[in-house]
Structure 1
Amino acid sequence: MANPTTKKAPAPRRQGENGFKYKPRYGLLVPCENEADQQRRYARLTRLGMRPKVVCV
C-alpha cells in the first residue's frame, strides 16, 4: 500500500502552458523633469482623451 502523505511532484510546464492568455500591449514612456512636470503632462494627455498611466521609478 502506498504512503498517502507522499505526493508525486508535478511535471514542469513548458512556456505557455499555464493557461494565461497573453494579449500584446504597447506603451510609451515620457521622461519628466520633476513631479510638477509629470502632473502637467498627465493632465494634458488626459484632456486629449488619452488614458496615461503614472510611473515613478
Structure 2
Amino acid sequence: MAQPTPQINPKAPAKNGFNYKPKFGLIIQCDDEPHQQAIFEHLKQLGYKAKVVVV
C-alpha cells in the first residue's frame, strides 16, 4: 500500500539552507543563429527578459 505524500512547506529552506524560488521559462526552437538573434531581439523589444542558449 502506498504511503501518502507528506505535506511540505514550500517556503521552508532546504536541508542545506537554500531557499528555492520557482521560475518559469519558455524554450523556442530556432532554425539557425540569425533566426535566434532575431527572435531574441524581438522579445527584448517587447520587454521580456530573455537568455540565449545553444545546446
Q: TM-score, normalised by structure 2?
A: 0.73
* Aligned partner (choices 32, 37, 48) of residue 39 of structure 1: 37
Structure 1 alignment gaps of length 5 or more: 1-15
Q: Give the ranges of 4+ consecutive aligned residues of structure 1 lying more than 2 Å apart after TM superposition.
A: none
Partner of 2:16: 18
Percent identity between matched residues is: 45
Q: TM-score, normalised by structure 1?
A: 0.71
Aligned length: 42
Deviation per CA, 1:9-57: give whole Å up to 9, x if none. xxxxxxx200000011100000000000000000000000111111100
Structure 2 alignment gaps of length 5 or more: 1-13
